[in-house]
Chains A and B, each alone.
Chain A
Amino acid sequence: GDSVTQMEGPVTLSEEAFLTINCTYTATGYPSLFWYVQYPGEGLQLLLKATKADDKGSNKGFEATYRKETTSFHLEKGSVQVSDSAVYFCALAASNTGNQFYFGTGTSLTVIP
């Protein structure tokens, strides 16, 4: 079945450090892939998405490239800020009918000044 495996956290970085959060997936066909971010006490917000192989999603300095050959969608940012502290979720749109999503376990990021 479809699934997402996400790098375990928590991750603590100093401001301006480079961020990578690993995400790999298992799916039938060619799923759309997503990164969501959750701030304390809030729901999930879409950060970026990619719908086909080699697509690069980007937003607010974050990037992720859909790699079919390695079934990966790693999240990167060149220089993190304190305001990036949140929980990040990798997700895929399932291969079954409808629009069901599978989420990774989430990675908590804390950026210290």
Chain B
Amino acid sequence: KAGVTQTPRYLIKTRGQQVTLSCSPISGHRSVSWYQQTPGQGLQFLFEYFSETQRNKGNFPGRFSGRQFSNSRSEMNVSTLELGDSALYLCASSPPDRGETQYFGPGTRLLVL
């Protein structure tokens, strides 16, 4: 079974721009979560989507948004990029129930200049 895939793997943007990251979950997994990983803050939860609806949301500003499509693929968008948005963005998929193992993609490394 194919794993979680994320595109692109690397991205360089400048301040003020916007960016869209994509995540394809494992086949059959309907829950997709997004995390931001930085050396200073560690792994921080952004949001979780299930059946095209945001089910949980972390403590990030409204510049961070996401969506999920009917095939469970998900995208996250960051508008008006700031230098501090430079990070590894990880996507994880799982069956929908609480406590199910989350399976992570390789991440998208975003650098904001």
- A residues sitting closer than 8 Å to B (CB atoms) are 31-32, 34, 36, 42-46, 49, 51, 89, 93-106
Contacts and interface: CB of A to CB of B under 8 A. Distances in A.
Interface in B1-48: 4, 31, 33, 35, 42-43, 45, 48
Given A43-B90, A99-B33, A100-B33, A105 B103 contact: no
B62 interface: no
Given A89-B43, A103-B42, A46 B101 contact: yes
A95 B99 CA distance: 9
A97 to B, nearest CB: 7
Nearest to B101: A46
Interface residues of B, number: 27
Would you call the interface of chain B mostly helix, strand, loop, or mixed?
strand
Q: Is the interface of A mostly helix, strand, loop or mixed?
A: loop
Given A32-B99, A46-B103, A105-B42, A98 B90 contact: no
Contacts of A32: 98-100
A97 B55 CA distance: 8
Given A44-B90, A106-B42, A97 B98 contact: yes
